[in-house]
Chain A
Amino acid sequence: MFQQVDFSALELPAPARKLQHEVREFLRAEIAAQAFQPHLGHTEFNAGFTRRVAARGWIGMTWPKRYGGQERSYLERFVVTEEMLAVAAPCAAHWFGDRQTGPSLLRYGTEEQKQRFLPAIARGEYSFALGMSEPNSGSDLASVKTRAERVPNGWRVTGQKVWTSWAHKAHAFFVLCRTAPAAGDRHEGLSQLIVELDAPGVTIRPIRFLDGRHTFNEVFLDNVFVPDAGVVGAIGQGWKQVTSELALERSGPERYMTTFPLFTELMRRLGSAPDARALEMAGKLTARLWSLRRMSLAIAMTLDPGPDGADGAPKATVDLATEAALVKDMGTFFEREIIDAARLLFEVEPTPDATDTFERYLAETIVCSPVSTIRGGTTQVLRSVIARKLLGPLK
């Protein structure tokens, strides 16, 4: 593992360091102005905040300038992401566009799609959601049943997507669907289509999370027309396109930082002279976080030395997919360790009505604690992938 990575030279270069201070200042001002109230667990959808982030050039920042990007490095994007997570900034309105659909369009989209969507995402004016999971397709994504049929000038899509975060606020979503029957290799015959969420035939219904909150949806597609201009990449290449997204994004700070603000509040509550047990817990959490961040940073620095190429093709020649899976696996468990430390150090009966920030974060993270080891590849699937890499083919 990590054979191609030089851990001795993991240092943020000066431009990234400067950016870190700019983002920190921006967020300090936002918090001081009470422009948002931080919440843990669910990423908040805040269109105003997203537009202000966009105005600073921090959405789609690795993209070419002619598509609204800033041609900055992935490492700089890493810095922006971790600063946002450190204070639980509400990024849902640009999260998927910036992180997944934008990069996919840059890589696989047509010139027309790039010009239509990328600058709008970068301005913070266009939100995407992701239509991957279905009632009978979770970890086994290739089993999706949503299908598209060829019609003149486009496709007619029918099916059901679930766990679609923020579909009720987004403008469009990427739908992974079957455009050819699953004969032989079932990874073939899948395609990605852009479905606008106000199109005729689209019905969005809330799926309430276990705390009653509405961030997830089920989206019904009933014979929805998607013009040819809405096909992402090549028909039949959807699997390849979707899985290349997963490898790129698996090891980012969002895999180990989502409960970090609770750690900060835990330290605040401990004060300056905690007892031995609390000191030990704080030290151990810090050691784990420091180590995770070194791994995540190493992957970011090794994978991407600069901005996207004009065609959006990744420049990385190193395969760190297994390392990324390890970071996700350990990172998601680390997030829970913070929750456990917080609850075991203090006698707090968690309540959704908490007003104290520490207690509120504690309640919010506890109810969301099952999610991180499920989304983006369950622990068990990740570990199978890692083991296959370790063991090679076994007969």
Chain B
Amino acid sequence: MNDTSEVRAMLIESATRLFADHVDARLLDAAKRDSWSPELWRIVEAAQLPLVSIAEEAGGAGGSLSDLAAVLLIAGRYAAPIPLAETAIAGWMLASCRLPVESGPLAFGPVHGENVTARQHGAQWSLSGSMRRVPWARIAQRLVVLVSGPAGALVACVDPQQCKVSPGRNLALEPRDDVVLDGVIVAGHLVAPADPGVCHAALRLRGALARSLLMAGALERALELAVRYSTERTQFGRKIGQFQAIQQELARFAGEVAAAVAAALSAAGALERGEDPLLAVASAKIRTAQAAHEGALIAHQVHGAIGVTDEYALHHSTLRLWAWREEFGNETAWAAELGRALAAAGADRLWPLLTKD
């Protein structure tokens, strides 16, 4: 074990303990009513988890993208009802563009590539445009927006109070809000030219990677619940886990979960090393979404009618899986994009591309 992996192991241990200690049925039910958990957010922010991968000089914890990946996977496992991924991405946008990294929770947009324009008025900027289904916009302290300025892309740190935010929700009741900016005035020091790495494609990539990691974690939890239930539930005088039919499904489920975890964590590592981001992230999002499809249904099938009530914990994971697999591009969208890149490269480049680790 080298230093990096030792530090990561400690991070994983402390983050796991933090979520395990605080995320319970009461907190998750409260979040369904309040659309998030401010209580959990305070604890997670105090532990510096949202900005774990932001450089220390920019106000983060100085960790790597893989550190953040490990934390997101754990957050997904506990269905943490907070904008952890969004704050991390918004923080990265701010830090990359040398803007002050605000304390969170943060949201970012646009997530569907919409065009928001910026015009300069003296020392200030005026922003106009609309963005669909921005995750967590209504509870964010700041909205970090990629906009087009007169001389190229800019990143602006916006007060959501100045925007028209229409609440929306995903299947797991997480906020996905429409945001309209109608000449929102932003002070000059909160706007900066976008770093070349901060573009619409990069936001989609990072969003997809984050959803892959969250899904991998949610799948781990769903498998854990299904396995536990199989050892507890008795039918026909036997534990249902003793039936080969159930065993075969659980084994298939375990394969899907392993593939999801492998793909999501590997993609973070690949992005960190500057490898082909499309191959890594598209593969991760496709594979985790496929696993979400298979896994959520196996989890429910194993649980029978017990799993479909809102009293039983499984729905916290499965509703999120069904929501997250569509966000930042589903299997079809990413497969088409990846397929186009492969076709353009040509058949003889297929294997070299796949092995350019």
Interface residues of A (CB under 8 A from B): 1-2, 5-12, 20, 82, 86, 260, 263-265, 267-268, 270-274, 276, 278-284, 286-295, 297-298, 322-323, 326, 329-330, 380, 382-384, 386-388, 390-392, 394-395
| A2–B255 touching, CB < 8 Å | no
- Total A-B pairs, Cβ < 8 A: 187
| B269–A279 touching, CB < 8 Å | no
Complex Cα spacing A288 to B269, Å: 18
Complex Cα spacing A264 to B337, Å: 18
Complex Cα spacing A383 to B247, Å: 7
Q: A294 is contacted by which of B250, B252, B266, B290 (Cβ under 8 Å)?
A: B266
Majority secondary structure, B binding face: helix
Which residue of B is nearest A24, CB measured?
Answer: B352
Nearest CB in chain A: distance from B252 CB, A: 7
Complex Cα spacing A260 to B354, Å: 12
What is the 8 Å Cβ interface bit string for chain B, positions 236-280, against chain A (1 contact, 0 not)? 000101101011101110110111011101101100110000011
B339 within 8 A of A: yes
Nearest CB in chain B: distance from A321 CB, A: 13
Nearest CB in chain B: distance from A77 CB, A: 15
Nearest CB in chain A: distance from B267 CB, A: 9
What is the 8 Å Cβ interface bit string for chain B, positions 330-357, against chain A (1 contact, 0 not)? 0110111111101110111011001101
Interface residues of B (CB under 8 A from A): 4-5, 8, 64, 66, 69-70, 227, 230-231, 239, 241-242, 244, 246-248, 250-252, 254-255, 257-259, 261-263, 265-266, 268-269, 272-273, 279-280, 282-284, 286-287, 290, 331-332, 334-340, 342-344, 346-348, 350-351, 354-355, 357
6 additional A-B pairs beyond A264-B348, A294-B262, beta carbons within 8 Å, are A273-B343, A281-B339, A286-B279, A287-B263, A287-B283, A290-B283
- Complex A-B, nearest 4 residue pairs according to Cβ-Cβ distance, in ascending order: A283-B335, A279-B339, A387-B247, A383-B251
| A390–B251 touching, CB < 8 Å | yes
Complex Cα spacing A52 to B91, Å: 56
Q: A264 is contacted by which of B239, B284, B347 (Cβ under 8 Å)?
A: B347
Given contacts A274-B343, A283-B342, A323-B258, contact A391 B227 (CB under 8 A): yes
| A272–B344 touching, CB < 8 Å | yes
| B261–A384 touching, CB < 8 Å | no
Q: Which residues of A contact B69 (CB under 8 A)?
A: 8
Nearest CB in chain A: distance from B210 CB, A: 15
Complex Cα spacing A102 to B80, Å: 51
